[in-house]
Structures are given as C-alpha cells and as structure tokens.
Amino acid sequence: MRHILVLAGGLSHERDVSLRSGRRVADALTRSGSETYVRDVDPTLLGAIRSSRPEVIWPVLHGASGEDGALRDVLETLGIPYIGSKPASCRLTWDKPVAKALVGAAGISTPAGVALSHATFRELGAPALLEAVVDSLGLPLAVKPARGGSSLGLTIIRSASELPTAMVTAYAYGDIALIERYVEGVEVAISIIEDAHGEAQTLPAVEIVPDGGVYNYEARYTAGATEFFTPARLSSSTAASAAAASLTAYRTLGHQHLSRVDLIIDADDRPWFLEANVSPGMTETSLLPMAVEAAGLATSKAYADIVERALTTLP
C-alpha cells in the first residue's frame, strides 16, 4: 500500500478548482489501493511532511502556487518523490511567451504575438501602442495574462475598440499581457501521461466546443457550458499530427509524468501550439480525465502508474 500525499488548494485564483481536482485524484488513488491524504498548502505543511514522510507527493495545485516551479524546488529539498515536472520545466511552461518561443523553435507553429508589461503599456502611451499592435498582428486577437491558467483573464476581440478593455482584464491577473493573433479553427487539448516504465503516451485529443464560443473560466468549470468530443472529430492524419506536435512540446519543455498541451487546428489541418500545463485540471469537467477514459484506461490504474513512475525519478 502506497502512502501518498495530495496537495490541493493554495492561494491562487484557481483555489476552488485545485480543491476539486485534489479530491478526485485522491479518490482514484484510494481505489487503486493506496493510502491517500489531501492537505492544503499552509505554514504547517512542511512539518507535517517531515513527520509523516509520504512515499510520494502529488501537487494538484493550479496557478502560480503550483505551476511556477517554486513549490517543486521546496519538495526537492525534502528528498521525497513528487508527481510532475521539475522546477526549471515549470518555469519555462508557466511563462507563456517563453514556452511559445521554445516550442516554435522546435518547429511547431504558434500564433504571432506581443508580450506587454503593464509599465510598458503606460509609458509608451496606450492608444498609439495598441494601434501599432493591431496594425502588426491584425484582427481578431486573443488577449490573456502571460502567466496563469484556467483561461482567467482571456478575451477574444474582433475590433480594435475592444482591445483596451481586454488589456485591463488581462492585467487584473498579472503584470504582463500576451496579445496573440487569433487562429480560427478547432480547439483541442492533448494530454500526455507516462506509464510505470516511463513511456510517454498521448491520449485521445479532446475537442472543445464552448456554448459562448470562448473557452474561458466559466466554460471550463460549469457543467454543461461546453460540449466535448473525445476523441476529437479529426481525420486520422490530423489527429496524428496534433499528437506529434504535443509530444514535441512535452519534450521541448522538459515535462515529466503528465501534462496537457492546448492546440488550435486550422482550416488546413495544421496544429498551432497555444500553451501547455504542468498541473492539468483533474475535476469532473477537466480534459485529462476525459482523455484517460477515452483511451479505455481506468483513472485509478493510470494514476497509480504515474505514482510508480515518480518513484523511479527521485529528486
């Protein structure tokens, strides 16, 4: 019987999602026969870890507290195996412009974009700056925080007059906003998990069709607000191209154990990399659990295999 500690909660905007994810991961691991506990992240955590000495720690934390690499640095100092990517990999992935640059250099298409700090936005004069951005990138555009998850702060704009409000919305979640050329197409998420032997496998793509046209926070976590097709309604060749692009992103960013890659498939069946996530949502409406089920795997077995893999990749 494995002794596993699941970390969930934290202080990010995605705290509630993390708590739901953590409970579902713990339930699946318990069904696999493990002794599993869920703890929040608070000042008593390190003392509790030292006293209980779990065999494996599974951080199911979203937002900066779980995805910017800082917590993973702390876990490495404890010398206890944990689920997920190493700190450096987390930092590269958490910064969307950096991740896009690395994945783009590896040969995967990614939308052209501009990252603007709040200070630059103010100092250069917002009207002239935004006019230059629209002239360069065209319309429509996607505006979102450069660091963050669950599509918090995301706005799709189709006219230049909407851009200032979209920037304010993005800056509410961070000091840097990413403005990207919006690629029209089929939005898909491809989850990648490693088995107990370390073999990374792409799971069936999940096609995302939000009722309102934009896969924002509400569309992600409100049951019935989005329609999902698993596997995605793609030709076999397009599905293979999307899977290959996702695996390239996984390896380029140095992920391990599990992650999710978000893509747009355009009218020419070309996959475009949007972003990746080292701590995917694991709730009842989340994409990785859907993909596990579509692959014909039991979540309890798949998650238990990830735990076994973590035991072979010690800090």
DSSP state of 32: T
Whether the link from the prior residue into 59 is cis, omega within 30° of 0, is no
Beta carbons within 8 Å of 298's beta carbon, 6+ residues apart: none
Burial of 280-307, coded b for 16+ CB within 10 Å and e otherwise, reads bbbbebbbbbbbbebbebebbebbbbbb
Please, are residues 276 and 93 in contact by the beta-carbon 8 Å criterion?
yes
Residue type, 299: T
- Contact by Cβ (8 Å): 50, 77: no
d(CA 37, CA 54): 9
Which residues, at least 6 apart from 121, have a Cβ–Cβ distance to it below 8 Å?
129, 167, 171, 177
Cα–Cα distance, 222 to 286 (Å, whole number): 10
Could you give the residue numbers annotated as active site? Answer: 14, 150, 221, 260, 262, 275, 277, 281
Strand 226-229 relative to strand 176-181, pairing: unpaired
Helix axes 15-31 and 299-311, enclosed angle (nearest 10): 90
* Closest among 276, 260, 257 to 315, alpha carbons compared: 257
Backbone angles phi, psi at 29, to 5 degrees: -70, -35
CA distances from 259 to 43, 201, 214 (A): 28, 11, 22
